[in-house]
Amino acid sequence: MDLKAYLHEKRLIVEQTLQDLMLTPQGLLAEHIEAMSYSLFAGGKRVRPILCIAAAESLGTDLNGLLPVAASLEFIHTYSLIHDDLPAMDNDELRRCKPTNHIVHGEAAAILAGDGLLTMAFEILSAPQLRPTISAEKQVRLIHILATAAGPQGMVGGQAIDIASEGKEIPFTTLRYLHSCKTGALITAAVQMGAVLGDADAEQYQAFTDYGRNIGLAFQIVDDLLNVESTTEQLGKAAGSDAELDKATYPAFFGVEETKKKALNAVAEAIRALDGFDGKADPLREIANYIYYRKR
Amino acid sequence: MDLKAYLHEKRLIVEQTLQDLMLTPQGLLAEHIEAMSYSLFAGGKRVRPILCIAAAESLGTDLNGLLPVAASLEFIHTYSLIHDDLPAMDNDELRRCKPTNHIVHGEAAAILAGDGLLTMAFEILSAPQLRPTISAEKQVRLIHILATAAGPQGMVGGQAIDIASEGKEIPFTTLRYLHSCKTGALITAAVQMGAVLGDADAEQYQAFTDYGRNIGLAFQIVDDLLNVESTTEQLGKAAGSDAELDKATYPAFFGVEETKKKALNAVAEAIRALDGFDGKADPLREIANYIYYRKR
């Protein structure tokens, strides 16, 4: 299959869905909506929504009418980037080659843009418009998966541990847990949500979960590698910033070569998790590979 | 009825529910959970959960087993206080006579504590534990009410307009819209959620909505009044800070006496909205009055 064409096609669909879901900047809310839109439409690769779509399609389910479910993941992801970049957090001034939200809109507006996007994800998932395409039971389940993955025992918790660990020596087990929360949880939620939409049985759901955990791990390891290896221009944000902040990373623990092996191993595990699926799961398999090769 | 005893009793019930819902600080997440708990258990009056309970009880519904629904409102309210107090926002150092979250836990941890509490509200509302006490349809409806009230077209949007209006002359219509979003939306959601739990019909739902809008308005007007009239000690936060920040307030537009009349008028409108309800709605009626007299 042509992964590049697949990703391009899906990205356009996600992009259109995000446009449909985002409010029009007007009246007193214009500035707030512009601040949210600035980051939502800053050229993200839409990995999480695409994973959700690909998981549902692996089970033969067409997401037509349910694309807002996939798009809700991007609202959560975007909010997390805005808050992570804040001066009090990673203090990043560049993201995807553009000034970060607080640089353009100011710190207060950026915090609120993040809060707004986070809340909108749950507005979208609970919208009456999704019915009767899916049952209320499914809606609740999707919301619970997303909230749990984004909450204290998932993404936010991971970020809190990350911030608290800065400048401290942490054991590898802490780094691994931190990664699984900060990056892994939302990526896993993406495929789990696709699985729910595709009516996965318990065994299939577990397979998708294993796939998600492994590509989440690969994703974060590759992020660490890119931060060490790339230039700022290639990365679209400040390169080498992890080392500067004394952050624990895979390369810091294992060196670059061993880290690459670990990333490749996680990719292989992810693909193995899909053994029971037919060719409809090829996009998920290809995406797993792509995670290792992105921007190389 | 003895409102003081009623509020005390309900507050204890809400307090216990919040304790049950909050995670235990342990392991790597200990600091994050402590930061959330610090503000969640900082002595709030639990007005929103109590309004939710009182609305359901007005319809003869006992909330036993559904208290987490009422408590979810306090998670949202607490997150909004933490973020509002941040240096980039109102830069408040005192809240309920205690140092604000970022003063104690640092700015990054405070931002993440707010994010965590916000997300947990939706984890709680989508939890499988609420079934089979309520249907999935009701769960989705509750989530949609809360997300919409907390989101860009509600509380977050109101705060964004508030921040953007600082130091600017704004017309009264803007102030009124700002208030209805920033304070009114969540208070209205509280009674609406109680109405859903109590199986309100369309007419009853509208009555609760009118009640909520009016006490929300009264609440914000009284807040403005208290800020002008009180000492820092009475208020538990910096008094006179609105005038200092050049914020548009009701007293600034109408003077103190006319503002008091407007607050009383809103209270009367709220009570009138409950005309069709029997004595079981007395707590709601008393709470409307209490809003005017609190801390006087």
- What's at B34, amino acid-wise? E
A112:B156 CB<8 A:
yes
State yes or no: pLDDT of A243 exceeds 80.
Answer: no
pLDDT of residue B111: 98
Å between A234 CA and nearest CA of chain B? 28
With CA atoms as reference, the chain A residue closest to B159 would be: A112
pLDDT of residue A168: 85
Tell me the backbone φ, ψ of residue A98, rounded to 5 degrees. Answer: -125, 155
**DSSP code at position B61:** -
Please state which of the ranges A61-70, A142-151, B133-142, B231-240 shows the lowest mean pLDDT: B231-240
Burial degree of B282 (CB within 10 A; 0-12, 13-18, 19+):
middle
State yes or no: pLDDT of A296 exceeds 50.
Answer: no
B272: domain CATH number is 1.10.600.10
pLDDT band at B296 (very low <50, low <70, confident <90, very high): very low
What would the pLDDT profile of B23-63 be if each residue is shown by its tens digit?
Answer: 999 999 999 999 999 999 999 999 999 999 999 999 999 88
Mean pLDDT value of segment A146-154: 98
What would the pLDDT profile of A137-149 be if each residue is shown by its tens digit?
Answer: 999 999 999 999 9
* Greater pLDDT, B157 or A242: B157
Which residues in A lie closer than 8 A to residue B88 (C-beta atoms)?
106-108, 111
State yes or no: pLDDT of B81 exceeds 70.
Answer: yes
State yes or no: pLDDT of B106 exceeds 50.
Answer: yes
- State the DSSP string of B213-224: HHHHHHHHHHHH
Tokens representing B165 are 């209006």
B109:A160 CB<8 A:
yes
Q: Which of A120, A137, A157 sits opposite B32 (nearest CB)?
A: A157
Å between A23 CA and nearest CA of chain B? 9
Cα gap B103→B91, rounded to integer Å: 10
pTM higher than the cut 0.90: yes
pLDDT of residue A73: 98
With CA atoms as reference, the chain A residue closest to B30 would be: A161
A116:B33 CB<8 A:
no
Cα gap B212→B227, rounded to integer Å: 22
Q: Which of B153, B160, B130 is nearest to B142 (CA)?
A: B130
Q: Which of A259, A175, A178 is nearest to A218 (CA)?
A: A259
Please state which of the ranges A108-112, A166-170, B81-85, B257-261 shows the lowest mean pLDDT: A166-170
Please state which of the ranges A22-26, A38-42, A53-57, B240-244 shows the lowest mean pLDDT: B240-244
Mean pLDDT value of segment B208-228: 93
pLDDT of residue A80: 98
Asked if A178 and A158 count as a contact pair (C-beta separation under 8 A), the reply is: yes
Cα gap A282→A285, rounded to integer Å: 5
Q: If contacts are CB pairs under 8 Å, which of residues 96-115 in chain B contact chain A?
A: 106-109, 111-112, 114-115
What is the rounded average pLDDT for all residues in chain B? 92
Which residues in B lie closer than 8 A to residue A114 (C-beta atoms)?
115
Q: Which of B111, B120, B123 sits opposite A83 (nearest CB)?
A: B111
> Which helix (H) or strand (E) element contains residue B94?
strand B94-95
pLDDT of residue A235: 57
Cα gap B251→B222, rounded to integer Å: 10
What are the contacts of B28-31 at 24+ separation with CB within 8 A?
Answer: B28/A157, B28/A161, B28/A174, B28/A177, B28/A178, B29/A152, B29/A153, B29/A157, B29/A160, B29/A161, B31/A160, B31/A164, B31/B105, B31/B109
What would the pLDDT profile of B109-118 be if each residue is shown by its tens digit?
Answer: 999 999 999 9
Which residues in A lie closer than 8 A to residue B167 (C-beta atoms)?
none
Containing structural domain, residue B116:
3-293
Cα gap B178→B161, rounded to integer Å: 6
Å between A165 CA and nearest CA of chain B? 10
Give B95's strand partners.
Answer: B98
Q: Does residue A32 sit at the B interface (CB-CB below 8 Å)? A: yes
pLDDT band at B295 (very low <50, low <70, confident <90, very high): low
Instruction: Give a three-class secondary structure readout of chain A.
Output: CCHHHHHHHHHHHHHHHHHHHCCCCCHHHHHHHHHHHHHHCCCCCCHHHHHHHHHHHHCCCCCCCCHHHHHHHHHHHHHHHHHHHCCCCCCCCEECCEECHHHHHCHHHHHHHHHHHHHHHHHHHCCHHHCCCCCHHHHHHHHHHHHHHHCCCCHHHHHHHHHHHCCCCCCHHHHHHHHHHHHHHHHHHHHHHHHHHCCCCHHHHHHHHHHHHHHHHHHHHHHHHHHHHCCHHHHCCCCCHHHHCCCCCHHHHHHHHHHHHHHHHHHHHHHHHCCCCCHHHHHHHHHHHHHHHCCC
State yes or no: pLDDT of A8 exceeds 90.
Answer: yes
Asked if A119 and B133 count as a contact pair (C-beta separation under 8 A), the reply is: no
Q: Structurally, how many domains does chain B consist of?
A: 1
A83:B112 CB<8 A:
yes
